[in-house]
Chain A
Amino acid sequence: MQFGVFSVSDVTTDPTTGRAPTEHERIKAMIAIALKAEEVGLDVFASGEHHNPPFVASSPTTMLGYIAARTERLILSTATTLITTNDPVKIAEDYAMLQHVADGRVDVMMGRGNTGPVYPWFGQDIRNGIALAIENYALLHRLWREDVVDWQGRFRTPLTAFTSTPRPLDGIPPFVWHGSIRSPEIAEQAAYYGDGFFHNNIFWPKEHVERMVGLYRRRFEHYGHGRADQAIVGLGGQVFMRANSQDAIREFRPYFDHAPVYGGGPSLEDYMEQTPLTVGSPQQVIDRTLSFREFVGDYQRQLFLVDHAGLPLKTVLEQMDMLGELVVPVLRREFEALRPAHVPDAPTHASLKAKAANEANEANATAADAIGTDPDVPAVVA
């Protein structure tokens, strides 16, 4: 199982000091967080993509390319890449380039984006959100798999004899996750392609997360990619920890009360009860995170949101130390012990490359077996 952090890249005033970081400080902080992720033994860093203040992450591959050069193991991902308002051709190019730069340590999470004006700013209409996600991804999927593409659709200028360069590293397209909070169409899309499905698991109660993941798993099996419990599921979650849970609550409360996404709404206690937000001791975070498995099944990726709402970098890095030392090693062990053997890990570049090589060998072996043997007896492939 993979563990990591994802950042929405908000520039938010620290309510305890009244100070907001500059954009430059925030960007450097995100990089420091990514480097820290590798240092403390996490597997994934994922950057959001936004095109409006107070967010700074408008250009994820620029940042991820820099992080790639400063890390050895870390998987670089997104949460999410806007499949609606970005040109799918540019996504194909940017992330294939990143894949080469990072020697394959790249996957991508597609999302629609819910900021209304971003659509017209990029020449689109939010009412077409689902249709854009469906059509643009259908093109992106082909651009990474077919060397020469002829294509015509509703939203983008047609392509004739187009080749997206660079070609994916080793001919293996980046693994794709589809993120959606509430749209069954996106769970259906992820299932159709046999891609991963990610639920941010932050803004909704678990009953809803369960319904979305359940639909994705059922349809993954329907489309013949494996059993429902072999579908590739990722979850978000947000945590704030101190050794003593009361200290965690006391320290996090002003950030919660003033956070743009829930300030002025429910109390911290109600929000913790109704959503997966966990503020408490590392053991409470372990227990809560293990409980996710009970409503989504065995899953492959857990990303934590730790750097939002104006929390200072020093505090965020302390959170990551606790994740790396106290939380994730236990979660790895516990999840691994619970996971049945037939449930796969999240695909990586290495595993997809090995799988492609295997399939090529099997195809060759089948072809070789077929020569000079009774055509009525099918070759058995182990």
Chain B
Amino acid sequence: MGSRSLVVVTAGLGQPSSTRLLADRLTSAAQGFLRDSGVEPDVEVIELREYAQDLTNNLLTGFPSPELRAATADVVAAVGLIAVSPIFNASYSGLFKLFFDVLELDSLAGKPTLIAATGGTARHSLALEHALRPLFAYLNAAVVPTAVFAATEDWGQGTNGGHVGLVDRIERAARELAASMAARERAAPMDLFADPIPFERLLASSADPDGPRSS
């Protein structure tokens, strides 16, 4: 028994937004499965729209505003991540990418992550596999096998009808995320300020092309 923080990053622009709607459904499903396994999740939702200016400023100045720093710190500290973007022009939205562009190296390394997206029609659904999944693979996130795409028409379909509907995919993805989160050791992120690499090791490893972390 313990708590596990789950951070939800959603890049929807409308109010209300179907991207947020999908994020909320995924979140409550994941919460349910986590509770079933004896874990009480702390959920934090980050609406990227609120950070649009701060993200641009961070790119230009090289440092985050206090509000954006708090948001990225939540993501780094989270045990699990749900990342949801609308699909624009065959890929994630620019706002969604901005957020992941300003994260420090290794922020998502090994982090159980559920990716999801919304779009007008199901023809955009593979953007999850050719755009979001490679992005998170590059960031070394542990992306769960099921990614969830919700086209507009999916919101009008139930679970029956002989095919796997949106509700089923949400359930399956959330179960995978919850299992992955429950199994994950709470890894303290490496903090080189609290625990610096001693100089003798820096000196020895400067001569080593693989660098100090390889020892």
Given A130-B202, A138-B203: A265 and B196 interface contact (C-beta under 8 Å)? no
B197 and A265 contact, CB distance less than 8 A? no
A140: shortest Cβ distance to chain B, in Å?
A: 13
B61 and A261 contact, CB distance less than 8 A? yes
Residues in B with CB closer than 8 Å to A264 are 60
Q: Is B66 an interface residue (CB 8 A)?
A: yes
Q: Is B188 an interface residue (CB 8 A)?
A: no
A188 and B207 contact, CB distance less than 8 A? no
A134 and B202 contact, CB distance less than 8 A? yes
Q: Is A219 an interface residue (CB 8 A)?
A: yes
Residues in B with CB closer than 8 Å to A135 are 203, 206-207
A151: shortest Cβ distance to chain B, in Å?
A: 12
Which residue of B has the minimal Cβ distance to A132? B206
The contact of A262 among B60, B69, B206, B207, by CB within 8 Å, is B60
Residues in B with CB closer than 8 Å to A275 are 63
List A residues 166-215 near B (Cβ within 8 Å). Answer: 184-185, 187-189, 191-192, 203-205, 208, 211-212, 214-215
Q: Is A314 an interface residue (CB 8 A)?
A: no
B171: shortest Cβ distance to chain A, in Å?
A: 42
Q: Give the docked Cα–Cα distance between A204 and B126 (Å).
A: 40
Residues in B with CB closer than 8 Å to A274 are 63, 65-66
List B residues 67-122 near A (Cβ within 8 Å). Answer: 69
Q: Is A154 an interface residue (CB 8 A)?
A: yes
A219: shortest Cβ distance to chain B, in Å?
A: 7
The contact of B199 among A192, A214, A266, by CB within 8 Å, is A192
Q: Give the docked Cα–Cα distance between A131 and B204 (Å).
A: 10
Which residue of B has the minimal Cβ distance to A219? B196
Q: Give the docked Cα–Cα distance between A205 and B62 (Å).
A: 11
The contact of B193 among A153, A215, A270, by CB within 8 Å, is A215
B199 and A265 contact, CB distance less than 8 A? no
Q: Give the docked Cα–Cα distance between A108 and B207 (Å).
A: 24
Residues in A with CB closer than 8 Å to B66 are 205, 274
Which residue of B has the minimal Cβ distance to A136? B206
A270 and B198 contact, CB distance less than 8 A? no
Q: Mark A115-134, 1 if CB is under 8 A from B, else 0.
A: 00000000000000011101
Q: Is A271 an interface residue (CB 8 A)?
A: yes
Residues in B with CB closer than 8 Å to A131 are 205-207, 211
List B residues 154-202 near A (Cβ within 8 Å). Answer: 192-193, 196-199, 202
Q: Give the docked Cα–Cα distance between A265 and B56 (Å).
A: 7
Residues in B with CB closer than 8 Å to A271 are 61
A187 and B196 contact, CB distance less than 8 A? yes
Q: Give the docked Cα–Cα distance between A189 and B66 (Å).
A: 29
B211 and A265 contact, CB distance less than 8 A? no
The contact of A185 among B69, B197, B209, by CB within 8 Å, is B197
Q: Give the docked Cα–Cα distance between A263 and B62 (Å).
A: 12
A288: shortest Cβ distance to chain B, in Å?
A: 18
Residues in B with CB closer than 8 Å to A154 are 206-207, 209
B202 and A188 contact, CB distance less than 8 A? yes
Given A184-B192, A265-B56: A189 and B61 interface contact (C-beta under 8 Å)? no
The contact of B57 among A189, A208, A265, by CB within 8 Å, is A265
A-B pairs, top 7 by smallest CB distance, nearest first, are A265-B60, A192-B199, A131-B206, A134-B206, A184-B192, A266-B57, A135-B206
Beyond the given pairs A185-B197, A208-B63, A271-B61, 4 more chain A to chain B contacts, judged by CB atoms under 8 angstroms and listed by A's residue number, are: A154-B207, A188-B202, A262-B60, A265-B61
CB pairs A–B below 8 angstroms (21 shown): A130-B206, A131-B206, A132-B206, A135-B207, A138-B203, A138-B206, A154-B209, A185-B192, A185-B202, A185-B212, A187-B196, A188-B197, A203-B62, A205-B66, A205-B69, A214-B193, A219-B196, A223-B199, A261-B61, A265-B61, A275-B63
